[in-house]
Structure 1
Amino acid sequence: MQRSATVHGGWRRLTAREHRSTLGPKAASRAASVHGEGGNEAHGQHLPHPGWRHAGPGRPGRGHLRRLRARGLARPPADEGFGRIVDGWFAAADATLLGRTTYLSMQPYWEQVTDPDNPVATALNGLPKYVVSTTLTDPTWNNSTVVATDILESVAQLKARPGRELQVHGSCLLARSLHDAGLVDEYRLIYFPVVVGQGKRLFDSGSVPSTFTLEQCVTTNAGAVGLTFRPTTFVTADLEMPEGGAEAVREQH
């Protein structure tokens, strides 16, 4: 069975992603990711409403998390339910696929977490990691391989290998490229009841249109919503309203 690719979301790292300085050591063991299973690729993200990506998982005080603290906004509600969702993601991983920025931001924290009962650290430190970069030539995080050329073809080959999921965490630009190429099999997103008002979008202007089917919806006691989507063929429709007749919808592929 081929791997599947999945994308996960939540905090910036949409792929690992509670921030140590913001959420504490225990919360810092949680992460979000984009990954794939059995030939599939998935992408995951933790998203404050209305779809902005939050600052990332590695070094404390980066990006939007820094700005959110400066504004005095409450941190997104990460609780045990959030942890169970993310732990479940990593339990299905066979490998991770990361962009260079996400990789370098996650490494300093996660490679120091040696607790064998921490499922996120166990997966990130023990499983193969593929980092997409044209400038990183000598990665120091164990089990790391640089993908520098023919990115989309290389990812397709990784997906074709037998196994479970090839997961993408964070890595927004990479995730967009994989989405546009039709290489993502599943998206796993966590929405927090927080309005940020600015930030990077997972799907930006110019993204290839897609529709999705909802595979799973889970809510946590703290108010976060975990959503699992699978992309489907994008279909448009024309609404016809003939005089004196009933309106009709004609689908167009």
Structure 2
Amino acid sequence: MGQLVVVNFVSLDGVMQSVLSADEDRDGGFDGGGWVLPYVDDEVERFMSGATAGAGALLLGRRTYEIFASTWPYADPADPAVAAMNAMPKYVASRSRPDLTWANSRLLGADLAAEVGRITAATESETVVLGSGDLLRTLIEHDLVDEYRLLVFPLLLGGGKQLFTNGATPRRLTLTATRSTPSGVLINTYRRAADA
């Protein structure tokens, strides 16, 4: 049975909103988008390439899916991460019925916990969640995440959507790996604590 792994960018103050471009997510008047790019060095790129190429499936929220579906199918297929992303199964959690144009995409049913259980049972390797803030809050609430791989960027944004929100059920995690990149990004891996 596979595991559910969250791979995400966060600022030092926990913001995960609009990481790659200003227009990605302006909810709440957020105008600090694109904050990741100045810190993306070769080590960050290698880590993200490995995280995506090594996944067995993707689990995405609708907004993240639509952003990815507008770019990944048209990226260089010679890149192993691009080839893997385009070939692997993609599961989309949405309350609406989005147009699933990206190859191997499937809309999940309303019982997200049961759907995630079926996905991880059917996937030998990891099912990876990228971005997908609203979906993540539901996954966290139901304690469905086996591992977090967080890239913590050395800046304070002062506002924006948080990865972990107030009111979440307390949980213990174990830090299993950490390293820093030349640009000052910390790559931390946390697993659900054995005694949680």
Is TM > 0.5 for Structure 1 vs Structure 2?
yes
Which of 10, 16, 19 is the matching residue for 1:47?
10
2:175/2:191 contact within 8 Å kept: yes
Correspondence 1:229 to 2:190: yes
1:26 aligns with none
Cα deviation digits, residues 39-97 of structure 1 (max 9, x gap): xxxxxxx111111114145x763236x82379xx8954110010111112113200000
Within 5 Å, which residues of 2 pair with 1:189-204?
189-204=150-165
Structure number with the higher strand fraction is 1
Cα deviation digits, residues 143-182 of structure 1 (max 9, x gap): 1000032111011111112410011111112112112212
Q: Which amino acid aligns with 2:7?
A: H
Which of 86, 94, 97 is the matching residue for 1:125?
86
Within 5 Å, which residues of 2 pair with 1:36-185?
46-57=9-20, 61-63=23-25, 67-68=31-32, 75-116=37-78, 118-185=79-146
Greater Rg by CA? 1
CA distance in 1, matches of 2:150, 2:33: 23
- How many residues align structurally? 193
Q: Which amino acid aligns with 2:4?
A: A
Identity %: 32
Q: Which amino acid aligns with 2:109?
A: A
Provide closer, same or farther for how the CA distance between residues 204 and 90 of structure 1 changes in structure 2, counting only shifts above 3 A. Answer: same
Normalised by the size of structure 1, how large is the TM-score?
A: 0.70
Unaligned runs of 5+ in 2: none
SS where residue 157 of structure 1 aligns? helix
CA distance in 1, matches of 2:146, 2:4: 5
Higher relative contact order (CA 8 A, sep 6+): 2
1:210/1:234 contact within 8 Å kept: no
* Residue 218 (structure 1) shift: 1.4
1:246 aligns with none
Provide closer, same or farther for how the CA distance between residues 128 and 69 of structure 1 changes in structure 2, counting only shifts above 3 A. Answer: closer
How large is the RMSD of aligned CA atoms in angstroms? 2.3
Of stretches 48-57 and 223-232 in structure 1, the one that deviates more from structure 2 is 48-57
Q: Which amino acid aligns with 1:172?
A: G
CA distance in 2, matches of 1:54, 1:180: 19
